Chain A
């Protein structure tokens, strides 16, 4: 099994035109085996682009194809509206990879989703997406570095570190059930706890790798959740030990303010919760491989 997406997930790509990022990524995802059933573009309804039937709106695409998931890579000024359009059309799982959305737009969109569309899950923004190896890939993760068959679930705040984690495991012959990139923005639609809970409930996931970074307190809250609810082994790694306070380290969410959000505090919280805390991505991979071998 997997979490959030599987081989039955049908996807509509929002913002498809011959040169758009949406088409580029949508075709890559389709080549991986993802059921990309529709695209949208208000000016190109009725066209077929790259073999993908295009509709003017998400609502029309859903009505015609029954798509249950959407993929958004439109530029920041248009992302919030695209997310709300998908939710209003009844999409239950939205992946938004757009980087650079204003924090207030994210906060407003998140609160409207929770209030008006409680059945919709948003992954991202500013995330690499989700891949259930061999089944479904929505986003920009390279399918080659993932290995089907489990038993590890991965959840990460960072894009390239997610790839690094996949790579470390796949190279050692350890597969993944699902790998979720939740993104590095201040208001992620899906957080660590959502993913930890889903992995805990997924019978095929036997161990969880969690990759965090400086800023905010999501890792500390995840640690509390691990202590209370997660019985599966967790290996974690936190990036940003050497990050100076008060400076955004690339991600809008990765900033140490005052004594809040340091890597050290997060590592201590996770360690106290029973997670195995690695000092670097390679060590995280090695420790996870050991755990999987012990599980048999």
Chain B
């Protein structure tokens, strides 16, 4: 789960990482109130989970309440790379002397924690890594160990941060490590970490990705999860406990297992189609799960055919077939379904489905043939839709 900047800063605060005084606002009036409380000048920042908001005009300096009103009015409702701005963060503007970069993440190949620290902050770290890798001081940490102040101080020296920043920066890094480790982050990044003209070190931005698997031990994440997604399809799937990701095509996908679901999207693409979504229903493909999956797909107006691809391992295909039949009775589907059922008890499953097959419920023996069928059905529905539209015009 990716956090908004303001949520990241709230999360940082739990671990004692200093940030600028500020607050979040959903309206222009609220923005002015936050600015009054933070003290002028302030910065008004669009809250979107996408990079490049500064260039898009989503970050503005305001000297007084009128300017806050003007900027917040412009930024709220702004579309930044397809992300609508619903909230702004308003904070006291800092007098910046230097900008640094600091982050912790999992080094998957090395199977340990990787800390990155650079005296060249404020820009994309990938850019620094590509053009001047020597400017990034790396530290590999044993996940079963930790980061103490002494090691953090050596790391700060190694990165060549300004003398005036070194002691406080070491303290911030220890806190950031605790936030990353105890806070179960996949990524905890401060860019920029700044040294102010009066010699203080604090986080000017916050980029935090939480590990969804650790949610069971973090009740405090509930409020973050409530604001997680903009996509109404994903919101609906999440409420039904489904593993769904919206894509832009017209073939709805339902599969069991993440790998098979990904592969199903790929195969649809290979035969000239375009998947509308990724949906993994996991191991328990019973009628409830299947109904929920079909409901979510059915609610997506761009879907023109549905490809259900199930390989029974521990899940028995006859149970899946019963689930599909029952789900069809519950959900009034707009689009035809193409089924491919294989694996444990596949024969029994296919026999159960036989009396239900029609031009709205088609079975195909292999994944590839089923993909072709689903794509051609979607294309046919698309042409019909286009001709209907033409007549109206």
B258 engages A107 (CB within 8 Å): no
Is there contact, CB below 8 Å, between B367 and A213? no
Q: Which of B269-327 contact A (CB under 8 A)?
A: 269-270, 275, 278, 280, 311-314
B55 at the interface (CB under 8 A from A): no
Closest-CB distance, A21 to chain B (whole angstroms):
10
Could you tell me if B181 and A250 are in contact, using CB atoms closer than 8 angstroms? Answer: no
Bound CA span A184–B258, Å: 9
| Distance (whole angstroms) from the CB of A270 to the closest CB of chain B | 16
Cα separation A46 to B303 with both chains bound (whole Å): 56
Question: Could you say which residues of chain B place their CB within 8 Å of the CB of A102?
Answer: 184, 211, 213-214, 217
- Answer yes or no: A225 CB below 8 A from chain B CBs: no
The reply to whether A77 and B216 contact each other, CB–CB distance below 8 Å, is yes
B184 near A244: Cβ-Cβ < 8 Å = no
Query: Distance in Å from the Cβ of A245 to the closest Cβ of chain B?
Result: 12
Are B213 and A164 touching (Cβ within 8 A)?
A: no
A43 at the interface (CB under 8 A from B): no
Best-buried of A103, A111, A115, A244 by chain B (most CB within 10 Å):
A103
A134 within 8 A of partner (CB): no
Of A28, A160, A252, which is within 8 A of B311 by CB? Answer: A160
* A240 in contact with B262 (CB, 8 Å): yes
- Provide the bound-state CA to CA distance between A105 and B111, in Å: 12
Given A112-B144, A213-B259, A244-B247; A103-B186 close (CB under 8 Å): yes
B262 touches A163 (CB 8 A): no
Instruction: Report the nearest B residue to A144, measured CB to CB.
Output: B344
Contact, CB under 8 Å: A240 / B266: yes
A247–B245 touching, CB < 8 Å: yes
Taking a contact as CB atoms closer than 8 A, the residue among B113, B280, B314 that contacts A140 in the complex is B314
Select B144's contact among A108, A156, A157, beta carbons within 8 Å: A108
The reply to whether A163 and B343 contact each other, CB–CB distance below 8 Å, is: yes
Q: Which residues of A contact B312 (CB under 8 A)?
A: 142, 163
B residues near A211, Cβ cutoff 8 Å: 259
Complexed CA–CA distance, A183 and B108 (Å): 14
Q: How far is the CA of A237 from the CA of B312 in the complex (A)?
A: 20
Q: For the complex, is B263 an interface residue (Cβ under 8 Å from A)?
A: yes
Contact check, B108 vs A217: say whether CB atoms are below 8 A apart. yes
**Cα A258 to Cα B51 with chains together (Å):** 12
For the residues of B in contact with A, the DSSP-based class is mixed
Q: What's the minimum C-beta distance from A136 to chain B, rounded to whole angstroms?
A: 17
B261 interface contact, C-beta 8 A: yes
Tell me, in angstroms, the Cα distance from A47 to B344 when the chains sit together. 32
* Cβ of B189 to closest chain A Cβ, rounded Å: 12
In the complex, A274 has a CB within 8 A of chain B: no
Distance in Å from the Cβ of B290 to the closest Cβ of chain A? 16
Q: Known A104-B214, A282-B368; judge A142-B313 contact (CB<8 A).
A: yes
B143 at the A interface (CB under 8 A): yes
Considering the complex, give the chain B residue whose CB is closest to the CB of A240. Answer: B262
In the bound assembly, the distance between CA atoms of A273 and B230 in angstroms comes to 42
- Tell yes or no: B256 within 8 A of A by CB: yes
Residues of B within 8 A of A150 (CB): none
Q: How far is it, in angstroms, between the C-alpha of A108 and the C-alpha of B256 when the chains are bound? A: 30
Q: Which of A100, A128, A141, A160 contacts B256 (CB 8 A)?
A: A160
Contact A159 B259, CB 8 Å, known A108-B143, A164-B311, A258-B126: yes
Beta-carbon contact of A253 and B313 below 8 Å = no
B337 contacts chain A at the CB level, 8 A cutoff: no
Asked if B261 contacts A250 (CB within 8 A), the reply is yes
CB distance from B29 to the nearest CB of A (A): 34
Find out whether the CB atom of B260 lies under 8 angstroms from the CB atom of A111. Answer: no
Are A251 and B258 within 8 A (Cβ)? yes
A186 touches B108 (CB 8 A): yes
Cβ B108 vs Cβ A159 within 8 A: no
B343 proximity list for chain A (CB < 8 A): 142, 145, 163, 167
Q: Are B108 and A216 in contact (CB under 8 A)?
A: yes
Distance in Å: Cβ of B244 to nearest Cβ of chain A: 10
Known: A103-B106, A108-B143, A186-B106. A142 touches B314 (CB 8 A): yes
Q: Once bound together, how far apart are the Cα atoms of A115 and B143, in whole Å?
A: 12
Q: Is B342 an interface residue (CB 8 A)?
A: yes
Within 8 A of A (CB), among B37-55: none
A281 at interface by CB-CB < 8 Å: yes
Q: Assess whether A89 is interfacial by the CB under 8 Å rule.
A: no
- Is A142 touching B269 in the complex (CB atoms < 8 A)? no
Question: Shortest CB–CB separation between residue A104 and chain B, in angstroms?
Answer: 6
Contacts of B113 in A (CB 8 A): 107
Q: Per-residue CB proximity of B208-234 to A under 8 Å, as 1/0?
A: 000111101100000000000000000
- Among residues of B, the one whose C-beta sits closest to the C-beta of A249 is B262
Give A239 to B314 CA distance when docked, in angstroms.
21
Q: Answer whether A104 and B143 are a contact pair too, CB < 8 Å, given A76-B213, A239-B263, A280-B367.
A: yes
* A102-B184, A107-B111, A186-B108 known; A128-B313 Cβ under 8 A: yes
When C-beta atoms are compared, the residue in chain B nearest to A75 turns out to be: B216
Question: Chain A contacts of B280 at CB under 8 A?
Answer: 250
* Contact in complex: A243, B313 (CB < 8 Å): no
Does A27 reach chain B (CB closer than 8 Å)? no
A142 to B344 alpha-carbon distance, docked (Å): 7
Query: Is B390 an interface position by the 8 A CB rule?
Result: no
Taking CB as reference atom, which chain B residue is nearest A156?
B259
Residue among A101, A141, A142, A187 making CB contact with B111, cutoff 8 Å: A187
Instruction: Confirm or deny: A40 has a beta carbon within 8 angstroms of a beta carbon on chain B.
Output: no
Which of A140, A184, A186 gathers most chain B CB within 10 Å? A186
Q: List 16 A-B contacts (CB under 8 A).
A: A76-B216, A102-B214, A142-B343, A156-B259, A158-B263, A160-B259, A161-B257, A161-B260, A184-B258, A237-B263, A239-B260, A239-B266, A242-B266, A243-B278, A250-B259, A281-B367
Given contact pairs A163-B343, A249-B245, enumerate 19 new A-B contacts (beta carbons under 8 Å): A77-B217, A102-B184, A103-B184, A107-B106, A111-B111, A111-B144, A115-B144, A142-B312, A145-B344, A159-B258, A160-B256, A239-B259, A240-B262, A242-B266, A249-B258, A249-B278, A250-B258, A253-B108, A280-B270
